[in-house]
Structure 1
Amino acid sequence: MLTVFTIPKPFAGRIAEIQLNAIRSWRSLREDVQVVLLGDEDGVAEAARSCRAENLASMLRNEHGTPRLDDAFAQVDRVARHPLRCFVNADIVLLDDFLPAVRRAAAVGSRFLMIGRTVDLDMVTPAELADAGRLRAKARAVGAERGAAALDYFVFPAGLFGELPPFLVGRACFDNWLVWRARQVGPVVDATDAVVATHQRHDYAHLPGGKDEAYYGEEAAWNRKLAGGRSRIYTIHDASHRLTASGGVRRNLGSILRTRETARKIGWKLGLR
């Protein structure tokens, strides 16, 4: 049904634990879910072997060694066994509510994109990872929902985006552009109310310049230029449909005039959120 792929960071310290948690959760979704890890960072090949995932080691990178999104998507297209793809950040734990939501989103339209907010948690234990109900309850009770612009997973059919620009992975704007591009060709479905996906908190020690570099540095500016400017920086508010917790689907009428997204940006500028 689904080919899940990611571009991990080096497996070192706390990041190693976080990424292994995430990959194991994807392998637990269903036996025939294909998991692909891209890159040759330290520990990636070993993690692929231990988690029964596939590893595509060779990737195109820029002069600073940052992976390119277009190459990642193209490489996965060559090995994918399923028509649906899920590009997900390597720190995201997915549970047993994820595949049912994918099926519901796919019923909205054949050329769809499914996205959703994730919930921040400081720690996911092995016992919680083995008990989806327990982890879901913990996330709902103590987790902090991430913002509308924080996009951590994308489910889509092969070829949805067409030819991708050479965006740099792990830097701002490319994820928001994916939402804009998907809205040009089909429905974008917000699965937040149907999926509890956990983002395991971490620092940015792996990146010189830290979080500011990822969001506001030179490579982030490169991505923003490739995206075509701020008018193509879409968020969860721009989803055309929403999955409900009760199993339904409804239109997001606010996405037509981008009312909630406009309000979010005004609030951000005023320091209200």
Structure 2
Amino acid sequence: MIQANALKSWKAIPEISEIILFGSDEGVAAAAQAHQVGHDPGIQRNEFGTPLIHDVFARAQQQAKNPLLCYINADILLTSSFGKVVREIVWKEYLLVGRRRDLDVQKEILFWDAAAEKLLLDECGRHGKLHSATGIDYFVFSKNLFLTIPPFAVGRTSWDNWLIYRARSLKKPVIDATNGICAVHQNHGYEASVVSKHKWTGPEVRRNLELAGDLDYCFTIDDADWFWRDGDLRRRTGIKVCVRHISRWPALHKTDALWGGIARLVLAVKKVLRRFFRALRRSPN
């Protein structure tokens, strides 16, 4: 039901003209056929059987007919606000992300009925919980923006945060659309189970963090330099933003001809200190 609801919500948005499901997990092919959308089952996997995100993005950018793409998790509902915001952005190259609302959804939603979306929005306003800025469930991006991505394992943290860093390092605008787009995450039963702990611990998580380059390159939605509000794009400003920019400066300037040496030195010192404190926490004494 969760995936079916998500697919129906995407298909109800006129601005979305093409949908491709990626992966060979049980039920994906049947869902693609039932909802008459594209399907690519041939995604590369690692030795643990986990799909690799770089192959998903590469295949999507090769196959998509449109200049603007969106990667989205299969449990996320989109409302009409998604199309309205994306339609208004005229920049040629950018990355758009936003925080989701977590909500218990217990039934099928008829998204072709305008009243159904209103009920969903009302329910989300009453009971939905805004997720933290560290988790990113959808990415709207210009085609060929992400041509080089490390072989991150899907769903094992860090890769989504690294994409924000990558766009910022390429000096492309990163937009926080939380205030404009209502994206709803349908809570499911395994959220607190032992299975879900694999997302936060284990060799795949450690490898993803290594591929990202450590925590210095794990940006969040709060690192977006633009945000959407009241039908317009605005530049992020303020003291908190300045402090955050200073903390991210080394990662974004490590290849600069003038400041690169200082940036790399700061990153190296931070890495040594991080390892020291990790070892200290693990010490029994």
By the TM > 0.5 criterion, same fold? yes
Q: Which residue of 2 aligns with 1:222?
A: 207
Aligned match for 2:159, one of 170, 174, 196: 174
Output one character per residue of 1:202-223: Cα deviation in whole Å (capped at 9) or x when no partner.
Answer: 2448x9x522210222101111
Which of 145, 152, 174 is residue 137 of structure 2 equivalent to?
A: 152
Q: Give the aligned partner of residue 6 of structure 2.
A: 22
Please give the per-residue CA displacement for 1:122-164, whole angstroms capped at 9, x wherever unaligned: 1153346442222112111210111110110000011112311
| Aligned residue number for residue 72 of structure 2 | 88
Match of 1:193 in 2: 179
Question: In the alignment, which of 26, 37, 46 is matched to residue 42 of structure 1?
Answer: 26
SS of residue matched to 1:160: coil
Report the CA distance between 1:236 and its aligned residue: 1.1
Question: 1:90-116 CA distances to partner (integer Å, 9 max, x unpaired)?
Answer: 100001110111133x33x32211100
Q: How does 1:1-273 map to 2 (within 5 A)?
A: 17-30=1-14, 33-104=17-88, 106-107=89-90, 109-123=91-105, 125-127=107-109, 129=111, 130=113, 131-185=116-170, 186-204=172-190, 209-244=194-229, 246-253=230-237, 254-258=240-244
Structure 1 CA distance for aligned equivalents of residues 242 and 75 of structure 2: 32
Unaligned runs of 5+ in 2: 249-285
Q: Separation in 2 of the partners of 1:24 and 1:240?
A: 32
Contact 1:114 1:190 survives alignment (8 Å) = yes
Structure 2 partner of 1:269: none
Query: 1:261 deviation in Å?
Result: 8.9
Q: Normalising by structure 1, report the TM-score.
A: 0.83
Structure 1 residue 82: deviation in Å?
Answer: 0.7
Q: 1:101 to 1:261 in 2, by over 3 A?
A: farther
Q: What displacement does 1:21 show? A: 0.7
Which structure: larger Rg? 2
Separation in 2, partners of 1:25, 1:157: 22
The number of equivalent residue pairs is: 242
Structure 1 gaps, min length 5: 1-16, 263-273
On the 8 A contact 1:237/1:261 being kept in 2, the answer is no
Cα distance between partner residues in 2 of 1:27 and 1:124: 20
**What is the TM-score normalised by the length of structure 2?**
0.79
Change (3 A) 1:32 1:162: closer
1:235/1:261 contact within 8 Å kept: no
- Report the alpha carbon displacement of residue 31 of structure 1 after superposing the two structures with TM: 7.3
| Partner Cα distance (1:183, 1:51) in 2 | 36
Residue matched to 2:262: none
Secondary structure of 1:22 counterpart: helix
Distance in 2, matches of 1:236 and 1:50, equals 34
Compute the displacement of 1:121 (Å). 0.7
